């Protein structure tokens, strides 16, 4: 018999059914007759478990949660009925007998490798198909009260770790040693160990520490600051570089509770911050404060970006905003939830209107080539009359 080790908040059955019903509504509008959910995070969102198997969501009937292993864990973790299988080949006869293979099948084409897609087509038995992933992203965009509770608990880890950083960051300390100490603090609070990022070749550690030129290196990742790392095999993250007096140490950290992630950045400096970094930091702070006054439900994402960019232009920092050269990225904010790159995306071209319950990380950052990086990142919950911070601690730079 399976016995849960530790504590977690199971997703209530009513919530799972509500999520599934929302997806069915979008499927009906898109002409999809049956949804086939394979990706682990999407399975968790709709079933409450991440055990090996397949979730089939027919438009007209109840969902079918097929689990190969562990069936015991699946039954303990999910409020849905579990159908045990020995392999994916067991799925076809059941779907065929229930007449669920007619029409168009929806699959997560943004993350399914071709080989997996072809295998599913053989074992599940569909002919016509469409992309289900945009519909799933829309379903996951607005968070429920249950989800917001998980995100706030994730944020508590962030507050604790940044508070501990004041005792760990010091002149001469290596970035990687700072990370090791602080990641341990989060793990002791029950951090799940890593963050999830949707997409092929997308990887994300829970923390990156940068000090000086290591924060200015252009990276392969679609982020403004990612650090140097310690090997070309993982070309991002904390490095062996040591902290210098007057040079900003940026710590980008994400909490992880019960699947839900947070993502914030703070600046620490030993002594007084060097003059070259003061204007970029002041601009990042002004952008955060302006957003806290302006952003609310009904505001368009492009307006949020343009307001921030006008402050960047006023400070004359356009060339360093959100990276430099070919390392510049086009966003200043991104949705968070079960993955760190969810909707909405705050850019100059995504015209999404913000809705109450959306959660996003807002990160005005500046990169000075060859010198270093500085910026702030704060997570916001969108409300009708404004935004609510996920974390409670100060986002101000801390001088040590």
DSSP string, 25-63: HHHHHHT-SEEEE-SHHHHHHHHS---EEEEEEESSS--
Mean pLDDT score of the chain, rounded to an integer?
95
What's the DSSP call for residue 1? -
pLDDT of residue 201: 87
pLDDT of 101 strictly over 60: yes
Q: Give me the mean pLDDT over the 205-211 stretch.
A: 95
Q: Give me the mean pLDDT over the 313-332 stretch.
A: 95
Q: Give me the mean pLDDT over the 89-103 stretch.
A: 91
Report the number of secondary-structure helices (H) and strands (E) in the chain: 10, 19
pLDDT band at 222 (very low <50, low <70, confident <90, very high): confident
Domains of the chain, with CATH numbers? 13-140 (3.40.350.10), 142-399 (3.90.230.10)
Residues in the chain: 400
Distances (CA, A) of 65 to 37, 93, 96, 269, 399: 10, 15, 16, 51, 52
pLDDT of 4 strictly over 60: no
pLDDT of residue 366: 97
pLDDT of residue 230: 92
pLDDT of 24 strictly over 60: yes
- Percent of the chain topping pLDDT 70: 98
Query: Number of C-alpha atoms within 13 angstroms, CB side, residue 72?
Result: 4
DSSP for 76-92, written as a single string:
HH-SSPEEE-SSGGGHH
pLDDT of residue 5: 52
* C-alpha to C-alpha distance for 324 and 327, rounded to whole angstroms: 5
pLDDT of 153 strictly over 50: yes
The single residue listed with the structure tokens 């520490």 is 209
Enter the tokens of residue 164. Answer: 């501990």
Dihedral sign, Cα of residue 74, residue 80, residue 84, residue 85: negative
Dihedral sign, Cα of residue 327, residue 328, residue 329, residue 333: positive
pLDDT of 1 strictly over 50: no
pLDDT of 46 strictly over 50: yes
pLDDT band at 3 (very low <50, low <70, confident <90, very high): low
Segment holding 181, helix H or strand E = helix 175-188
pLDDT of 86 strictly over 80: yes
Q: What is the pLDDT of residues 238-252, one digit of tens each?
A: 999 999 999 999 999
């Amino acid at each position: 018999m399976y016995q849960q080790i530790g504590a977690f908040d199971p997703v209530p059955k009513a919530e799972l059914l509500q999520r599934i019903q929302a997806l069915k509504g979008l499927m009906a509008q898109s002409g999809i007759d049956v949804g086939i959910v394979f990706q682990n995070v999407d399975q968790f969102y709709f079933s409450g478990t991440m055990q090996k198997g397949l979730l089939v969501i027919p438009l007209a009937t109840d969902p079918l949660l097929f689990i190969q292993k562990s069936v015991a864990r699946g039954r303990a973790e999910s409020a849905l009925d579990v159908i045990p299988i020995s392999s994916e080949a067991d799925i076809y006869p059941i779907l065929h007998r229930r007449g669920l293979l007619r029409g168009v099948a929806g699959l997560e084409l943004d993350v399914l490798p071709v080989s997996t897609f072809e295998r599913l087509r053989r074992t599940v038995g569909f002919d016509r198909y469409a992309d289900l992933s945009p519909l799933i992203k829309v379903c996951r965009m607005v968070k429920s009260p249950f989800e917001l509770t998980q995100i706030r608990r994730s944020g508590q880890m962030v507050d604790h770790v940044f508070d501990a950083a004041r005792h760990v960051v010091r002149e001469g300390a290596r970035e990687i040693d700072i990370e090791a100490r602080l990641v341990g603090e989060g793990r002791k609070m029950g951090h799940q160990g890593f963050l999830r990022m949707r997409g092929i070749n997308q990887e994300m550690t829970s923390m990156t520490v940068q000090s000086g030129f290591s924060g200015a290196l252009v990276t392969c990742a679609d982020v403004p600051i990612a650090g140097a790392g310690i090997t070309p095999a993982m070309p991002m993250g904390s490095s062996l570089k040591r902290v210098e007096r007057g040079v900003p140490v940026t710590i980008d950290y994400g909490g992880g509770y019960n699947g839900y992630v947070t993502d914030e950045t703070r600046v620490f400096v030993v002594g007084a911050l060097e003059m070259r970094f003061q204007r970029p930091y002041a601009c990042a702070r002004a952008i955060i404060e302006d957003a806290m006054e302006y952003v609310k439900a009904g505001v368009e994402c492009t307006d949020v970006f343009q307001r921030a960019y006008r402050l960047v232009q006023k400070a004359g920092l356009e060339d360093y905003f959100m990276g430099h050269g070919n390392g510049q990225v086009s966003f200043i904010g991104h949705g968070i939830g079960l993955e760190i790159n969810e909707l909405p995306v705050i850019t100059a071209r995504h015209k999404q209107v913000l809705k109450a319950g959306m959660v996003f990380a807002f990160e005005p950052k500046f990169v000075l080539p060859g010198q270093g990086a500085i910026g702030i990142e704060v997570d916001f919950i969108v409300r009708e009359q404004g935004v609510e911070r996920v974390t409670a601690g100060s986002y101000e730079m801390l001088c040590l």
